[in-house]
Structure 1
Amino acid sequence: MTKLYFIRHGKTQWNLEGRYQGARGDSPLLKDSYLEIDALAHYLSPITFQHMYVSPVRRARVTGNTLQHDMDELQGYPIPLTIASRLREFNLGKMEGMKFTDVQKRYPQEFDDFRNHPDHYDPSTIQGESFPQLIQRMTPTIKRITDIYRNPTDNILIVSHGAALNALVNTLLGTDLHDLRKRGGLSNTSTTILETNDVGRTFSLIKWNDTSYIKRQPDATDMI
């Protein structure tokens, strides 16, 4: 069974400040995030990975490159890494860079629907990307990966973003659009594992939002 390990990027300054980042907004990883990526590398080091696919957005690229470096030191070989543009975060338009509290005041409907009602979320006012648009964008990359890596022992790392991964993973599991948020959010530097035994036609969930390797207790600013 091919296993896909979905990693959310390390915690950033804007995560800490409660700001939307999105596909175009960005901020640096916190100093402690590098320690948490190293802890993730130790957690993953017993596993042989065939490839790593990484979002082009800087916070994800830095997470992926750091993870690749740390695992190279632990395992003695570099995991091949590909930047995959379709793995970028939601385009959140006018909300990017804004604090959650300010978005809630200025765009209350969009704020609530994005978090709680994906099937009602209409991003036209904020000039953003809808859930169906994001799913249509990201899914072909997963299908391509599972078409390439068909061996039962293949393990693939995918480094991306909290909201995007939440929508993508739940869709791969067959979850309806209105229920995409039912499993809760994904924490920074978390690991979610899916497996497929039919070349990506169906998936089963092995782990959701695992942060057991991180010493501190994740708080509300880690989750999206």
Structure 2
Amino acid sequence: MTKFYFIRHGKTQWNLEGRYQGAHGDSSLLDESFEDIKHLSAFLRNIEFTKVYSSPLKRARITAETLIEDLKQEIPIVICDELREFDLGIMEGEKFKDMESKYPELILAFRNSPKDYHHEIVDGESFDEVISRTNRLIKDIAKDSDGSENYIVVSHGAALVAMIKSLIGEKLADLRKDGGLSNTSVTTVQTKNFGETFELLDWNNTSFLNKKKDPTDTI
């Protein structure tokens, strides 16, 4: 079987401030995130990985590069534009609370009811667009696998939720039913048939971080 270990990037300054980062906004990882990545590497150390796939955005790429270094494995890294976060248009860089005040129904839909999210209001990207680009990539990787490989995929909170839940067959309306993903979390999915179907093994695992979650850790 082929396994994918989906990892949300380490926590950033904008995460701490409660700002939307999206596909164009970006901010630096917090110092504490590098310690979290060390804990992550210890959790994954006994697994042999074939490749690491990462979003090109700085917060994800640095998470991926740091993880490879901490794992002490010679793992090739592939930067994939398909793994970018949602393009959130005019919301990028804005604080959550300000957008909730200005677009209450839109933000409620984005976080809880994807089928009702009208991306055009903020000149952003739709759930269907994100699902299409991310699923195509993961299915292609699975199809080309030898059927027994392990891959790390480093991406972003909102994109990962849409990607993973759609891969395992969840309907658009139900993508957010289990909430979001935390910084430096691991979600594990496997396929036994080269990407024809996928099975969720572990969701939003942060047990290895040995710290209490903060509300700003999860989106």
* TM-score for both structures, normalised by structure 2: 0.98
**Helix, strand or coil at the partner of 1:102:** helix
Q: Give 1:102's aligned residue.
A: 98
Paired residue type of 1:61: R
Q: Give 1:8's aligned residue.
A: 8
**Helix, strand or coil at the partner of 1:157:** strand
Task: State how 1:208-219 maps to structure 2 within 5 Å.
Answer: 208-219=203-214
Q: Give 2:174's aligned residue.
A: 179
Q: Give 1:78's aligned residue.
A: 74
Any unmatched runs of 5+ in structure 1?
none
Contact 2:168 2:197 in 1 (8 A): yes
**Helix, strand or coil at the partner of 2:100:** helix
Identity of aligned residues (%): 51
**Helix, strand or coil at the partner of 1:192:** strand
1:187-214 CA deviation, whole Å, 9 max, x = no partner?
0000000000011111111100000110
Aligned partner (choices 112, 136, 140) of residue 140 of structure 1: 136
Task: State how 1:37-56 maps to structure 2 within 5 Å.
Answer: 37-56=37-56
Structure 2 distance, partners of 1:173, 1:144, is 15
**Helix, strand or coil at the partner of 1:78:** coil
Task: State how 1:64-213 maps to structure 2 within 5 Å.
Answer: 64-72=64-72, 77-152=73-148, 154-213=149-208
1:71-130 CA deviation, whole Å, 9 max, x = no partner?
12xxxx311100011000000000111110000111222111101110010111110001
Structure 2 distance, partners of 1:150, 1:210, is 27
Structure 1 distance, partners of 2:174, 2:201, is 19
Structure 1 distance, partners of 2:170, 2:122, is 26
**Helix, strand or coil at the partner of 1:147:** helix
Matched, 1:35 2:35: yes
Paired residue type of 1:119: K
1:35-89 CA deviation, whole Å, 9 max, x = no partner?
00011011100000000000001100010010011112xxxx3111000110000
**Helix, strand or coil at the partner of 2:189:** strand
Length, aligned pairs only: 219
**Helix, strand or coil at the partner of 2:204:** strand
**Helix, strand or coil at the partner of 1:125:** helix
- What's the C-alpha RMSD, in Å, of the aligned pairs? 0.8
1:164-195 CA deviation, whole Å, 9 max, x = no partner?
00011000110000000011110000000000
Any unmatched runs of 5+ in structure 2?
none
Ranges of 4+ aligned residues in structure 1 off by more than 2 Å? none
* TM-score for both structures, normalised by structure 1: 0.96
